[in-house]
Structure 1
Amino acid sequence: MAEQSYTLLESRFTAMIPEKLRVFYVSKLREMEFVTLSGNIRWKKLIASFTSYYGDNVLKECNSNISFGTEDTWLHKVLRKPRGSCHPLRHILLISFLGETVESLLKKFNTDTYNPFGVDPWPCLNKAADHYKESIITTVKITKDFKSSNPVGTFKCTCGFSYSRKGPDLVTEDRYRIGRIKEFGGVWRKKLKEINESDLSLRKKAEVLGVDPKTVINQLLKDDLININVESISNDKKQGQKQQWLKLINENTGLSISELRKSNSNLYMWLYRNDKEWLKEHSPKKIRIKSKGSIIDWEQRDIQIEELAKSIVKDILNEKKIQRVTKNEVGRRMGRINLLYKNMHKLPKTKFILENGLESIEEFQMRRIKNVVKKLMLNRGVVKEWEVIREAGLKPKYANIHKHFIKRGIFASYKL
């Protein structure tokens, strides 16, 4: 660490863009299998490995120890979207863990050799072209993915075919991966027209063109070249959807149509749009009970709702994500929000539980303050009043109201 610090102090280099630095770190973590295919960091595995690599004593000496179970450590801040600065020593700790040095990092950032998609030329992945997989593309347009901030490369061949993929490339095989086809181009469309006149099946046509059957249909419709039995394909899909719906009913006997719809809303909406009459005939019928008076045992229902309300209030108070205990939230979670508003006078036990369990805005803020103080003490060992106010998201009005409570909480945390 002393040598790396010396290199950093003695080197002349331009300022590094935090976001670009973060992308570099994440790409290295991906190589070390600390990042999932969807781009999420495996935090538990990473923190355990990082702590084991240095040992608790070294990290503590560098004031960079990491507490398990917390989601707001300095390591989280470095590897997420940059919102603040981080001490260079901590960057050195991470760089060394990733198998790099300050010198190698500066070299990659201060030259044009670093490219998340490697060096040109790149292959054309137009399966309809004679030059398929030949490296003839010489330029790439690099943008940033909106959600993950990972680099996205767009490659366009002279044949008109254009595709993109999310990077960075980690292995050679990544160069032959398509994330999304942007343009098909003249060569691909010519092949589409030729193959459409053949006797090949739709699936085989799609395989030859390097796309899925649905894309073949869409592009044929777009070019007015359709000569395949779209109706039979549509009927096949319709039969498949109907079978899924019948299976769903059989596996969930007793559920109402509303409950079935919630369990698979996409399937329900597809059948509703494409065969509404069939769906109506093959759905559970509504049971309407005509009675002269109320048949609901409100006393028994009150006991059931009371137990459910107790459990939900307890769950909300024990969750890591701080949330206020309100009647709306309790009702939403139990799926009986109307009952709590319209029939509360018939549920005295439940009413008592809610009156004593619900939080006012002030009570919720005080609970959130306690949680923030505890978290800051575990993470940093030092708690400042302004940090508590910021982390708890208190407006100036409420920060003033709870000022003494914050001070008492900080004082109590030091005593513990």
Structure 2
Amino acid sequence: MNEQCELPLPYPDELLYSVVARYHLRAGNSSAKCTLREVYGTENVIPTTDLPSHLDSLNAIQPVSVDQWIDNHTFYPYYASFMPRDRALLLRQLMKGSDGSGIHALVGIIASTVARNSDLHFCTACYEEDVQRYGEPYWHRVHQLPGVKVCPTHGYPLQRLTSPLSDRHGLTALPISRDMFESIPIIEELNERAEGQLLGIASDIQILIQMQDTQVFYNSRRLLMHRLSDMGLVTPGARVRQRKLQEQFVTFYGRELLNMLECAPQQNDHSWLASATRSMRNVVHPLRLMLLLRYLYGSFSEFLKQSDQELAPFGKGPWPCLNKAADHYREAIIKECKVTRCSDTGQPVGTFHCACGFSYSRRGPDQSEEDRFRRGRIKSFGSVWESKLKEYLQAGLSYRSTALNLGVDTNTVIKYADGNTTRHTCSLKVTGKKNKVKKPSKLNGCKPVRVDWELRDLELSWQVEETCKELMNDQFRPVRVRVATIGKRIGKLSILEKHKDRLPITMNILSNYLESVSQFQIRRVRWAAEQMNGEWPLKKWKLVKKAGLRPGYSPEVEDEISRCISYNTLISPLTSTEVTQWLH
């Protein structure tokens, strides 16, 4: 058409479908096809409520941009938040394009067992408020989303029209008077607990679609594992206890409510709940993921707070410089934080580089504001720190006082003082023809460096005990606690091997953790049995292979193997005849 139509200005959270339906009434067109031809330039368009297409072909004078239509007046943010980023971008392009036949297949709606809403829903309280505020009612987007059974604003059960109804190609506008239509509630009366759950679910979904930036929660396992571990739902081998999770999940919502939402997990290892807590291969329906997030965190808003800590484990920059030698000590001037993963614990490690040359790192995530000023390991000191060290030593300060002023260990001061070209030692004298070097301790009054073994013993004992605990509590494959292993991990192997007699506290603590071959093998058997939890019956050869045992192990190890197998036989296997369906 040559002339463009002018669509009404959309109301807050109004469906694009509702805007076109209101235009249809104002235009006075007798046929919906005529309206579609005026709006889209073609009548070969099916007016869908959730994910419409042909948006780039709108033949209307648009009060908003195409991207604003998609983000604020369609179901796009509801589905895109839980899709891979590239697939979400493809969905946006399909909605803009003229071929929308593959949209629902791309999103996974066709293969999903969560049915699409076939009716339009409204809230009676919202209806009255819209008429008073705008002079007419309209279809709210949040009321049409899967899982929303009550109004998140008023808490009333939603209603659906029973008459008048349009056909598949028609446009249904919400009548301006209650006398012009009939409706019934979409849910029957529920108990107070179920109603509260439905209100919470609707509120969570409303927060989701109102987010300014569509975050991608597709591979949510990394975000959920920490919370699952806190709830005791993760094995030492970082595997989710699926049966226990499913039992608690069903208890939390109730089987009746889950059946009504079409989200009851099947009792097998391939349910949607198991898929949601594993590395994603298929897209799980947004409603089901929202239910899981609400169970784990209490609400979607709380999950967003926790995910911010996971995605930004050290908060937002700038971060403070912790160089005590600098004038800007504890001032937030570091603009970049490089986040890596600890190879031992899997926790995030942040590295902070300041312009003064000082660089430090620490494990995260931060739990409080004070953690921003916590310094783990110093990567480099920089020229400012080294200059201040030189200044203190030339002024005659002791190593202890210098270390206190610079915020480091005494041994660190000694190390850098000895390595400095202007180190705090006596100068060399040259006499006679042999250029004999005089000993500083005798000729110039300089004292040799003395090691404070009591202090070193105490410091090493802390490092040794912390490292031993990390090895014993490691959720991955067990590592034997030995002197060599501990020494290498803390970088003090030579001291532990050559000066055992000077480290009584350290060696006493170390002896409490050292493992014999049999003790280590027993720990490996227990770890292997935990990894194979849920496998029934537990075969001995599989357990031995998983534990990495060679023939000739001790009777104590044999007894532990028998104990693990006996314990496994007491647990009856969970059987089910239900058919698994992968949800997309």
Smaller-chain TM-score bracket: 0.3 to 0.5
Q: Which has the higher contact order (CA 8 A, sep 6+)?
A: 2
TM-score w.r.t. the length of structure 1 is 0.47
Bigger helix share: 1
